[in-house]
């Protein structure tokens, strides 16, 4: 019997990696539905290739433009995830590859309808982990993170008593400017900053990798997922991106998790955990990689956003939400070449210190509406006050 799977954000990088895995094992899966925001051309191509009969298109304009076309092709279109839930039975897997906070609501709505929820949507975990955790528990849904670092940690500690964990190192590539002087990158173009040296990622997450915000988010995410304090985590630069996590245990053992720089590997291991299916026919250790392993402790001089780490808390607060919103808006301005790389870092640090926002840092959201209202509050401030000053 085939496993029933749905892919949220199927046209993004996680979605594409998922299709690369499933295409090798088509006999194991039946894709129940796909979702995209507005990339109709790509999602339609995916639906044809994998014989998918249901598609969610979140963009109203795109949805109504192609609604009748899809019906003629015997593919049922949906505008929202809640519209499709009445037309599906219990899924075996859902993979959430949606980028940004807007993956939170679909996550909460789909969790009751799947046995296993697999996600790379870090912003939704950062902003709403308490809500996700309650849903997972209520509906007995298994949770698997597929960010390479979190998946590596999950694989090591899922059967380990947490009291045995001494320290967890999250590895960072250091981005494309690791060996450049700070003065050389202050006004570098966003097109250069988006060229990640090791991973094929979207532009936004590539910029986050360059500023190290991505690692700050990952520490925040790991604290929540694994229910561990900030002091248990440390970021270390590993330019080769071969080792994804280092877990030090208090019994004297140190465990390293290594794999190639492909998101297909954590996705494969999430879908085939506990089976005898092989990813590689032969998985050889890359000795050349091991012989040139290099680790660097990152400095807050080179990566000023690392100063944000000390503000992180295990419990969801409005600080998490405000940080995500500020970063999203300012990275967008940088990608549009409205602000410089130097000003991107400087402005993020300036905004999170503002009393306008800091008065909320010890408070926690009670529902999704409060999260959305706070994001809109931050967005409106940046779009009016900050843009007018530029």
Shortest CA distance to 365 belongs to which of 153, 128, 144, 141? 128
| Distance separating alpha carbons of residues 211 and 203, to the nearest angstrom | 13
Report pLDDT digits (tens) over 202-231.
Answer: 778 788 888 999 999 999 999 999 999 999
Give the pLDDT confidence score for residue 190 in this predicted structure. Answer: 74
Give the pLDDT confidence score for residue 387 in this predicted structure. Answer: 67
Strand partners, 245: 170, 257
Give the pLDDT confidence score for residue 97 in this predicted structure. Answer: 93
Determine whether 61 is exposed, middle or buried from the number of CB atoms within 10 Å of its CB (0-12, 13-18, 19+): exposed
Residues of the chain with pLDDT under 50: none
Give the pLDDT confidence score for residue 200 in this predicted structure. Answer: 66
Question: DSSP state, 122?
Answer: H
Angle of CA points 101, 105, 109, to nearest 5°: 150
| Distance separating alpha carbons of residues 380 and 81, to the nearest angstrom | 27
Shortest CA distance to 157 belongs to which of 274, 249, 266? 249
Return all residues near 43 (Cβ < 8 A) that are at least 6 apart: 10, 11, 34, 35, 36, 55, 57
Here the tokens at position 371 are: 């999260």
User: Under CATH, which architecture does the 3-145 domain have?
Assistant: 3-Layer(aba) Sandwich (3.40)
CA 124 to chain centre: 8
Here the tokens at position 30 are: 């039946």
Give the pLDDT confidence score for residue 130 in this predicted structure. Answer: 95
Q: What is the SS3 string spanning 268-281?
A: HHHHCCCCCCCCCC
| Distance separating alpha carbons of residues 131 and 370, to the nearest angstrom | 13
Give the pLDDT confidence score for residue 210 in this predicted structure. Answer: 87
**Pairing mode of beta strands 243-249, 165-172:** antiparallel
| Distance separating alpha carbons of residues 241 and 238, to the nearest angstrom | 6
Give the pLDDT confidence score for residue 281 in this predicted structure. Answer: 60
Mapped onto helix, strand or coil, the DSSP state of residue 172 is strand
Give the pLDDT confidence score for residue 234 in this predicted structure. Answer: 95
| Distance separating alpha carbons of residues 151 and 380, to the nearest angstrom | 35
With beta carbons less than 8 A apart as the criterion, state whether 106 and 119 touch.
Answer: no
| Distance separating alpha carbons of residues 129 and 142, to the nearest angstrom | 14
Look-up of token digits 């080792």: 243
With beta carbons less than 8 A apart as the criterion, state whether 117 and 32 touch.
Answer: no
With beta carbons less than 8 A apart as the criterion, state whether 95 and 5 touch.
Answer: yes
With beta carbons less than 8 A apart as the criterion, state whether 34 and 7 touch.
Answer: yes
Give the pLDDT confidence score for residue 311 in this predicted structure. Answer: 92
Spell 346-371 as b/e; 16+ CB within 10 A means b. ebbeebbeeeebeebeeeebeeeeeb
Give the pLDDT confidence score for residue 184 in this predicted structure. Answer: 72
Domain boundaries, the chain: 3-145, 149-261+285-315, 317-390
Report pLDDT digits (tens) over 9-46.
Answer: 999 989 999 999 999 999 999 999 999 999 999 999 99
Give the pLDDT confidence score for residue 198 in this predicted structure. Answer: 63
Model's pTM, two decimal places?
Answer: 0.92
How far, in Å, are 149, 245, 308, 326 from residue 233 at the CA level?
Answer: 12, 11, 14, 24
Q: How many CA atoms lie within 13 A of 326 on its CB side?
A: 26
Q: What is the side-by-side strand order in the sheet with 142-145?
A: 76-78, 54-57, 29-36, 3-8, 91-96, 114-119, 142-145
Which contiguous run of DSSP H or E holds residue 92?
strand 91-96
Shortest CA distance to 267 belongs to which of 7, 48, 2? 7
Give the pLDDT confidence score for residue 390 in this predicted structure. Answer: 62
**Pairing mode of beta strands 165-172, 254-258:** unpaired
Give the pLDDT confidence score for residue 246 in this predicted structure. Answer: 94
């Amino acid at each position: 019997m085939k496993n029933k799977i749905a892919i949220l954000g199927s046209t993004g990088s996680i979605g594409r990696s998922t299709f690369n895995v499933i295409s090798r094992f088509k006999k194991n899966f039946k894709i129940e539905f796909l979702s995209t925001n507005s990339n109709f051309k790509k999602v339609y191509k995916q639906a044809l290739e994998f014989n998918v009969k249901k598609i969610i298109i979140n963009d109203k304009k795109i949805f109504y433009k192609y609604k009748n076309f899809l019906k003629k092709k015997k593919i049922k279109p949906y505008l929202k995830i809640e519209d499709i839930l009445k037309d599906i039975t219990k899924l075996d897997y859902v993979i959430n590859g949606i980028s940004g906070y807007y993956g939170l609501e679909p996550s909460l709505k789909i969790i009751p309808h799947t046995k296993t929820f697999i996600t790379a949507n870090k912003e939704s975990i950062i902003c709403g982990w308490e809500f996700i955790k309650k849903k997972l528990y209520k509906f007995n849904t298994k949770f698997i993170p597929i960010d390479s670092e979190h998946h590596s940690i999950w694989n090591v500690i899922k059967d380990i008593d947490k009291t045995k964990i001494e320290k967890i190192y999250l590895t960072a590539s250091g981005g494309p400017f690791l060996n450049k002087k700070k003065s050389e990158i202050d006004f570098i173009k966003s097109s250069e900053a988006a060229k990640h040296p090791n991973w094929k990622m979207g532009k936004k997450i590539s910029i986050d990798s360059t500023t190290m915000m991505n690692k700050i988010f990952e520490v925040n995410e790991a604290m929540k997922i694994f229910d561990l304090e900030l002091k248990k985590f440390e970021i270390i630069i590993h330019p080769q991106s071969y080792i994804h996590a280092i877990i030090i245990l208090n019994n004297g053992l140190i465990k390293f998790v290594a794999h190639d720089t492909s998101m297909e590997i954590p996705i494969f291991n999430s879908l085939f955990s506990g089976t005898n299916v092989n990813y590689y026919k032969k998985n050889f250790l890359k000795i050349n990689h091991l012989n040139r392993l290099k680790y660097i402790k990152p400095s807050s001089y080179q990566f000023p956003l690392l100063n944000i780490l000390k503000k992180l808390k295990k419990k969801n607060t409005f600080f998490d939400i405000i940080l995500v919103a500020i970063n999203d808006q300012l990275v967008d301005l940088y990608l549009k070449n409205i602000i410089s790389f130097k000003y991107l870092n400087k402005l993020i640090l300036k905004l999170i210190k503002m009393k306008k926002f800091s008065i909320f840092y010890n408070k926690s959201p009670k529902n999704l509406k409060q999260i959305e209202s706070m994001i809109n509050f931050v967005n409106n401030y940046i779009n009016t006050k900050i843009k007018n000053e530029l």
